[in-house]
Amino acid sequence: MVMSPAKASFQRKLAALGANAGGNSTSSAAPMPTQGPVASEYQLLLATLQIDMNRLRQIQSTERKIEAKREMIGKYLPWIEGALAAEIPAQDEIVGNMVVWAIDIADWPLAERLATHVITHNLALPERFKRAPATVIAEQVAEAGLLPTPVINRIWLQRFTTLVEPHDIFDQVRAKLAKATGLALQAEAAAFDPTAETAIAGGKSALLRAARDSFATALALDKGAGVKKLIEKIESELKKAASPETTTTT
């Protein structure tokens, strides 16, 4: 069922009102109102979300779950837009769930906006996530880059790395993010086209060195990160690339 523009506008306004109802900004966001039109709409959306979550639990295939989330997320977007536009945020389970969904469906612009909102304003994620939001977000983003066929590129990985950098997260999680970034850089180096308009300065070797540095960061954070052979491979490639420049003729 497609939401009407009037209904979408109504939800955006209510979400913004609910967030701003918290009063002065503090280190912890205010709770969502429990009475009035904002509360009524919020509870209706939570009930819809519970139905969708129950449907997802019946799906065993990860790919089908992702496709289902891609279809479902649209009904929550107007509320999300209102929440993101509010000057003072509120604790909001819709927002908390949708940041995870946005990562799952690889909608990186939306995921970044929601992640920034959640982390900056110290919003809680749903209770099923036992760790801090920055840790959960970093790990899920990293795992998107560690898939056999990654669904996130190097630029987005670096943006999320910057986002979580100031926050206290597990070293192993930060290592996974560094490893994923290294793999993305390595893949970029393998596909490097020096004639492309977007070719970076320093060429393939610069990409390989950056990948090596990312792997080295992962190793320093977690000795079991599984990057030692990756570092050795890159070192070998860099030596081969440098050898024609250092060979002298007689």
List % helix, strand, coil for the chain (3-state, nearest 5): 65, 0, 30
10 shares its domain with 87:
yes
Residue 119 in any domain: the answer is yes
Least confident of 19-23, 40-44, 56-60: 19-23
77 shares its domain with 112:
yes
79 shares its domain with 135:
no
CA–CA separation, 124 vs 191, rounded Å?
40
140 shares its domain with 121:
no
Domain count, the chain: 2
Q: Select from 114, 130, 146 the last residue of a domain.
A: 130
CA–CA separation, 86 vs 15, rounded Å?
8
Which residues touch 118 (CB under 8 Å, ≥6 apart)? 95, 96, 99, 125, 133, 137
Predicted confidence (pLDDT) per residue in 99-153, tens digit: 999 999 999 999 999 999 999 998 999 888 989 999 999 999 999 999 999 999 9
Residue 16 in any domain: the answer is yes
Residue 249 in any domain: the answer is no
How confident is the prediction for the chain on average, in pLDDT?
90
88 shares its domain with 168:
no
Query: With 60 as the cut, is the pLDDT of residue 10 above it?
Result: yes
Q: Select from 105, 130, 155 the last residue of a domain.
A: 130
pLDDT band at 1, cuts 50/70/90? low
Query: With 80 as the cut, is the pLDDT of residue 196 above it?
Result: no
90 shares its domain with 123:
yes
- Integer CA distances (angstroms), 32 to 44, 86, 114, 242, in order: 13, 13, 17, 60
- pLDDT, residue 20, reads 65
Percent of the chain with pLDDT over 90: 70
- pLDDT, residue 250, reads 39
- Which residues are 21's β-sheet partners? none
175 shares its domain with 123:
no
Expressed as residue numbers, the domain containing 44 is 1-130
Residue 26 in any domain: the answer is yes
- pLDDT, residue 151, reads 97
51 shares its domain with 120:
yes
192 shares its domain with 126:
no
Q: Select from 95, 130, 165 the last residue of a domain.
A: 130
Average pLDDT over residues 85-105: 93
pLDDT band at 30, cuts 50/70/90? confident
61 shares its domain with 153:
no
Q: Which residues of 150-188 are buried (b: 16+ CB within 10 A; e: fewer)?
A: bebebebbbbbbebbeeeebeeebbbbbbbbbbbbbbbb
Residue 171 in any domain: the answer is yes
Helix (H, G, I), strand (E, B) or coil at 30: strand
Place of tokens 């036992």: 130
Q: Are 11 and 78 in contact (CB under 8 A)?
A: yes
Residue 53 in any domain: the answer is yes
Residue 33 in any domain: the answer is yes
pTM of the model: 0.88
2 shares its domain with 122:
yes
Residue 250 in any domain: the answer is no
Average pLDDT over residues 190-202: 76
Query: With 60 as the cut, is the pLDDT of residue 245 above it?
Result: no
124 shares its domain with 216:
no
CA–CA separation, 211 vs 157, rounded Å?
13
